[in-house]
Amino acid sequence: MRFLLDEHLPTGLATLISELGYNALHVKTEGLLSASDSELWTLAGDLEATVVSKDSDFLALARRDRRRSGLILLNLGNISNRDLYVAVRAGWPQLMERLKLGDPVVELRP
């Protein structure tokens, strides 16, 4: 599985996801900081990647175009990067299981 992380997430999260055994790209390291949410959604579909975001605007894109890409919504509020990494590491197996079962949108909550 491949993941595309949006600009509101730290680049270190892409590193963490890679350490968990997945291909993770961050819009910053890919030179895509100026891309709109819609452009990122389309790119993710072209890359066969799941978008990872804290931005609920991606929910509308996911509901409108379920075939293009999936979405992991990190609904964790305003937390430190350290706490974000801990939460993602702990919740990642469940997120992956739900994606593998075909859920187009999965959410990580506290």
The per-residue pLDDT for 67 is 64
* Confidence band of 26 (pLDDT split at 50, 70, 90): very high
- What is the 3-class SS of the chain, one letter each residue? CEEEECCCCCHHHHHHHHHCCCEEEECCCCCCCCCCHHHHHHHHHHCCEEEEECCCHHHHHHHHCCCCCCEEEECCCCCCHHHHHHHHHHHHHHHHHHHHCCCCEEEECC
32-68: pLDDT as tens digits? 988 999 999 999 999 999 999 999 889 888 888 766 6
What count of other Cβ atoms lies within 10 Å of the Cβ of residue 72?
24
How do the domains of the chain map onto residue ranges?
2-108
pLDDT at 44: 92
Q: What is the pTM of this model?
A: 0.93
Please name the fold of domain 2-108.
Rossmann fold (3.40.50)
- At 24, is the pLDDT very low, low, confident or very high (cuts 50, 70, 90)? very high
Residue 110 has pLDDT above 90, yes or no: no
In this prediction, residue 2 carries a pLDDT of 95
